[in-house]
Amino acid sequence: MREAHSGGTYNRKAKGAAAEAAAALYLASRGYTVVETNWRCRSGELDLITEYQGRLVFIEVRSRSGSPLPGTPEESVDARKIRQVRSTAGVYLHMKEQQDRAVSFDVISVQLNPDLSVAALRHIREAF
């Protein structure tokens, strides 16, 4: 018998949204300005696009919640994901006519409790 979505279980989309919301709040508290969330194009999606000290910072948010998978959320950012985020960021910069902007790529790792509250959050600046 499968457990319903009410008794404390959440789907992947809800977990991702909770992690991204936590990351955006964290960044705002550190002086970042959130410019875009979940920006999409054909090559992929950018979780958060922020500005910080004159630089455009693309943030990849990774989360886990009581997962049996080994490793940390940030370890799930593999070479394929890095290529995809960089490529999508290039499309964003071209479409917004901001190819000359200084940019960096950060990862925010969010460990969620079963109720989707934040157990731990780690910000890795200039991750790739």
pLDDT of 68 strictly over 80? no
Position 2 in a domain: no
Q: What pLDDT, on the 0 to 100 scale, is given for residue 3?
A: 35
* Alpha-carbon span 87 to 79, nearest angstrom: 12
Position 28 in a domain: yes
Banded pLDDT at 72 (limits 50, 70, 90): confident
* Rounded average pLDDT over 47-56: 97
Q: What pLDDT, on the 0 to 100 scale, is given for residue 71?
A: 76
Number of domains forming the structure of the chain: 1
| Structural domain harbouring 74 | 12-124
Q: What pLDDT, on the 0 to 100 scale, is given for residue 76?
A: 84
Q: What pLDDT, on the 0 to 100 scale, is given for residue 67?
A: 62
Which of 39-43's residues contact partners 24+ apart within 8 Å by CB, and which partners? 39/88, 39/92, 41/88, 41/91, 41/92, 41/95, 42/91, 43/84, 43/87, 43/88, 43/91
The 10s digit of each residue's pLDDT in 73-114 is 888 899 999 999 999 999 999 999 999 999 999 999 999 999
Position 88 in a domain: yes
Position 89 in a domain: yes
The 10s digit of each residue's pLDDT in 2-46 is 333 444 467 889 999 999 999 999 999 999 999 999 999 999 999
State the CATH number of the domain containing residue 77. 3.40.1350.10
* Alpha-carbon span 114 to 108, nearest angstrom: 19
Q: What pLDDT, on the 0 to 100 scale, is given for residue 2?
A: 34
Position 82 in a domain: yes
Task: Answer whether 119's CB lies under 8 Å from 113's CB.
Answer: yes
Q: What pLDDT, on the 0 to 100 scale, is given for residue 60?
A: 97
